[in-house]
Amino acid sequence: MTATDEPHVLLRTEGRAGFITLNRPRAINALTHPMVLGIDEALTAWERDPAVETVVIDGAGERGLCAGGDIRAIHDDARAGGSASAGFWRDEYRLNARIARFPKPYVAFMDGIVMGGGVGVSAHGSVRIVTERSRVAMPETGIGFVPDVGGTYLLSRAPGELGTHLALTGTPVGAADALLTGLADHVVRSVDLPRLAAELTRAPAHEVLPGFARTPVTPGELADQREWIDACYAADTVETVIDRLLDSGVPEAKEAATTLLGRSPTALKVTLAALRRARRLDSLESVLDMEFRLSCAALSSHDLVEGIRAQVVDKDRDPRWSPPELSAVTDEAVARYFGPPSTGDLGLAAHTP
């Protein structure tokens, strides 16, 4: 069997642990629908297996755990007016909810790049480990999309308006800021992850982690920026957020405003509305139900296809958003994203235990 013939999800059990390895290293382990189903099947088997006490998820290759969903496939499906992406999201979001409620320790090695769907299969786990190499982000507004996989749930619960800043700009964070914003629990040196994995085959996570956990090598940036972030992003509209950023006199705030002005205006307004709603919803399942509506609406939008084209397909980095200005994105256009999709709602909250 050649490397290209290997399954995209590698499963094995050793001692007390079951291991899930995402195995598309050339694509930074971007998730496909079969990969989501494979992870779910493994969790079903191991939930019932008394020999498996801990589940560990990691990514093959040197670049990261997972760069997100397979957005090329989403681009092609959206252009064709298909429904495959909605089916993918339906199963992916169900998996995200399952991970959050998994009855055994679910240990995520969030080493390297962890973005979008990669956050979904890691940051809802019970033991979330980042390293000095971690770059964690929800960068969806840059492709005309909205943070999903429970991203608006996680970011809406970060301290102050830090999550609003990260969701709108898509800024990646390192280990220290992942801890601060609640996206991770522990820092372990990247070089120590194989030894930690070996220890997890012999003993529970809560017993072995103290021997590996470290303080972040590099200090975070967000704690020192809380004052201007909280003041600027507390605004009710994206336009006011940008005005406050530009008027703050803080160089980092001006950089954030410049970033926002390059993002999809529609995606920014929908994301801000989604974050505010997510903050009021009482469960991850309720937020995932909302995000499913947003994702399905985005599938028929101009900006998602155009954003992926510019960033991933043609790589000209020059998306032509429609409408191109924030002022042209109406409240009615934003509200459309929150309506029930033609394929039917996800309905996770209705079945929450």
Is 92 annotated in the active site?
A: no
**Pair 311, 319: CB distance under 8 Å:** yes
pLDDT at 1: 38
pTM of the complete model: 0.96
Catalytic: which of 111, 148, 285, 303?
148
Catalytic: which of 77, 92, 111, 140?
140
N-to-C CA span, the chain:
43
Of 211, 209, 213, 210, the closest CA to residue 105 belongs to 209
| Alpha-carbon 278 to chain mean position | 15
Is 160 annotated in the active site?
A: no
Catalytic: which of 38, 64, 69, 174?
69
333, amino acid identity: A
Give the sign of the dihedral formed by CA 227, CA 228, CA 231, CA 234. negative
Give pLDDT tens digits for 153-199: 999 999 999 999 999 999 999 999 999 999 999 999 999 999 999 99
Is 148 annotated in the active site?
A: yes
Is the bond leading into 323 cis (omega within 30 degrees of zero)? yes
Helix, strand, coil shares, percent, the chain, to 5: 50, 10, 35
The larger pLDDT score, comparing residue 172 to residue 351, is at 172
Catalytic: which of 38, 59, 64, 117?
117
Is 41 annotated in the active site?
A: no
Give pLDDT tens digits for 216-243: 989 999 999 999 999 999 999 999 999 9
DSSP state of 249: -
